[in-house]
Amino acid sequence: MTKTELLETIRNGESSGVEFKRDVTDNRALAQELVAFANLEGGRVLMGVDDDGTVVGISRPDLEEWVMTTCRDKIRPEIIPYYELLRDVEPGKSVAVIQIVRGLAVHHVWHNNHRTYYIRVGSQSREASPEELERLFQQRGAFRLELRPVPGSSLTDLDIRRLADYFGRVRQQPAPTATDDASWTQLLVNTEFLSREAEATPATVAGLLLFGLHPNRFLPQGGISAAAYAGTEKDYATQERASLRGPLTPLFGESGLVENGLVEQAIEFVRRNTVTTASLEGGARRVERREYPDEAIREAVVNALVHRDYLLSATDIELSMYTDRLEVVSPGRLPNGITPERMRIGCRAARNQLIKDVMRDYGYLEHMGMGIPRKVIKSMREHNGTEPDLIEDGERFIVRLWKKPPVSG
């Protein structure tokens, strides 16, 4: 960092990626800031700068050694920061820049034989709540929420009809009889739809979401809030508003589809609230044209159901229809370093791998992670020449489909 860049950073003040500190602070306070940065996206601690941006300079003679010792003794897992000393930032006053990158693991401060996890929230570093800590571990791949047992649930909360259809028709393997609870329990524990605990076998999050009789009884965030608005903005007045509930998977019988899953419910909602036009091709064949291609809607909904952050327990997926566009809003940040740009070229990553695998078994997902480029982007270009928007907006991800191309000026 140059002196000019440093002074500009100081002028901009503290932020999610910048913290000012005097070098007389104790090592625990420094460790707290470094841990918070490592648990977010990285950042810089500027030592020798007061909270108001005044450059007070460095007084500690062994600052670099003290910083490195703090990172080794007070932080678990240990981190190695980039350390840089800029001299005479103001006459006779130097500033140390301690730069931290995003940690591959979740870091904590180790003090008095006690661990404390910190996160960065705006310009403040604070202790992580239990929910925030779970999300940190999930983001770093330390645990999978979808395999967590759901307290109070059991085999009786899963739809044996859907499970029999899945194992028999979809996976082409023998399934127990409907009344053979012991065999079902063993099969579902082995396939991670149930969890073997000390005194019970509760359903996992994935088991309930995929095959639950009433999954929202245990997981209220497992549905879709759908609304069709009369204009281009949200309003209390709607053409239709619906709370879509039930398991992700459909149920098939000998004569075909028996009960919809959430994907089919969402597509039906869109069909009810869009116009279908018909035309004759070649003077004889009647061709119907919908405002949005089904495969683009299906992929956007499936992508949200499979990849959303189910730790955000108070938020449904949103399916919003306006007079000029359709939006599918998925709660949570994109997983595992994925960006909208990487999605456009087919980059693969899964937050909920078991759910993804099962939905792929049903044919909802592309095998090479190409659903967004092939089914959303390509189908919208072919349908009406529009370019879908993929937007990461804070704690949500939006897929936006346009009804018509923009009017050129």
Confidence (pLDDT) at 369: 66
* Model pLDDT, residue 283: 59
pLDDT recorded at residue 239:
92
| pLDDT on residue 186 | 96
Length, in residues, of the chain: 409
Residues 6+ apart with CB under 8 A from 128: 39, 117, 118, 119, 136
Which residue carries 């149930």 as its tokens? 194
Q: Which two tokens stand for residue 210?
A: 């995929």
205 within 8 A of 193, measured Cβ to Cβ: no
Q: Beta strands 317-321 and 238-244: pairing type?
A: unpaired
The identity of residue 154, as a single letter, is S
What pLDDT shows up at residue 356? 93
DSSP assignment of 181-244, as one string?
HHHHHHHHHHTTSB---SS--PBBHHHHHHHBSSHHHH-TTSSEEEEEESSSS--S-EEEEEEE
Burial of 247 (0-12, 13-18, 19+ CB in 10 A): buried
pLDDT at 368: 62
Q: What is the predicted pLDDT for the residue at 333?
A: 83
- Asked if residues 96 and 63 have their Cβ atoms less than 8 Å apart, the reply is yes
How many Å apart are CA 320 and CA 270, to the nearest integer? 9
What pLDDT, on a 0 to 100 scale, did the predictor assign at position 367?
62
* Dihedral, 404, 405, 406, 409 alpha carbons, nearest 10: -120
Amino acid at 382: E
- pLDDT the model gives residue 123: 94
Distance between CA atoms of residues 208 and 165, nearest Å: 16
Report d(CA 292, CA 154) in Å as an integer.
Answer: 40
C-alpha angle 212/216/217, rounded to 5°? 90
φ, ψ for residue 230, nearest 5 deg:
-85, -10
Task: Count Cα atoms within 13 angstroms, Cβ side, for 388.
Answer: 30
pLDDT at 409: 54
* Helices marked H in 85-221: 130-139, 160-165, 181-190, 205-211, 215-218
pTM: 0.70
**Three-state SS at 395:** coil
CA distance 179 to 337: 44
Degrees, nearest 5: CA angle 377-378-379: 95
Residues 307, 330 contacting (CB under 8 angstroms): yes
Strand order in the sheet with 114-116: 75-76, 108-111, 114-116
Q: Are 59 and 77 in contact (CB under 8 A)?
A: no
Peptide bond into 77 cis (omega under 30): yes
Amino acid at 70: T
- State how far the alpha carbon of 404 is from the alpha carbons of 67, 326, 383, 397, in Å: 57, 11, 10, 22
The parts of the chain modelled with pLDDT lower than 50 are none
> What are the respective helix, strand and coil percentages of the chain, to the nearest 5?
35, 25, 40
Tokens coding 184:
């079902």
Q: Which domains does the chain have, with CATH numbers?
A: 3-140 (3.30.950.30), 146-215 (no CATH), 224-402 (3.30.565.60)
- Determine the pLDDT at residue 309: 86
State residue 71's pLDDT score. 95
